Structure formats: structure tokens, C-alpha cells
Amino acid sequence: MTPRIKRLRDSTIKLWCWLIYPEWPYKCVICNKRKANEAHHLLRKVYWRRECFWDIRNGISICQPCHKYTKRVETWLEKNRPEQYAWLEQQRQLIRTGPKPMLGTEEARVEFLKEIQKSLLKQL
């Protein structure tokens, strides 16, 4: 990944995080005690080239100590947010069986991230 793509991806992740926090009551969804200070991607970062990675349904607000235990996150999600868990499972299935994104050139990746940023900004 080139430095240009990394900077653009990282700034897009920050924008995505700003959209995640208001979706949740600024508390950790696992322990419900601490102020949540991290947005957790349910789909791993390796999937950043897919639009589903940037969907706000792909994130939850979580505190740093609980972020270490991602299995708890999925258990909580399945029990408390079944519609979001179902979406997550559907996306995982699509990733396993669907076509891989064709973003071979740096310019294609830049354009993809810029379009994602525009989409996220519209949601603010």
C-alpha cells in the first residue's frame, strides 16, 4: 500500500468512526461501564476495498479493554442486535463467495476511497 493510499484510507476510517459513535450511547457495548473510545470494525481491515467495510452497520462503539476480546463482541451482537448480526453474516458470505473487488491501480483505489468519503460525509 502506498503512503498516499494509506493516508487516504486512515482519514476515511476516522470519518467512519465519527459516524459510529452517535449510533451507540457513547458506552462500551460489552461492559456498559466505560466511556467507549474506539470504533470497532466487525469485518477486518483486510476488506477495506469493499463497500460493506465502510457501512456503519459494520461498526460498534467499544472501550479499549474490551476491544481485545472480539469474540465477546460477536456474541453480544448476536444476542442484542440480531439484525446487525444477520447483516454481518450475510456480508461474510458474500465476501467468501462473491467476486473480488477490482481496484488494481493506485488511482482506482484513490477514487474508491474518495467516493466512500463523499458517501460518509452525506451521512453526517
| Per-position pLDDT tens, the chain of length 124 | 788 888 888 899 889 888 887 777 778 888 887 776 788 888 887 777 788 888 888 988 888 888 877 778 888 889 999 999 999 999 889 888 877 776 667 888 888 889 889 988 888 7
> Which residue's C-alpha cell is 457513547?
26
How far is residue 21's CA from residue 39's CA, in Å, rounded to a whole number? 7
The burial of 13, by beta-carbon neighbours within 10 Å (0-12 exposed, 13-18 middle, 19 or more buried), is given as: middle
Helix (H) or strand (E) holding 95: helix 82-97
Each domain of the chain, given as residue ranges in start order, spans 23-105
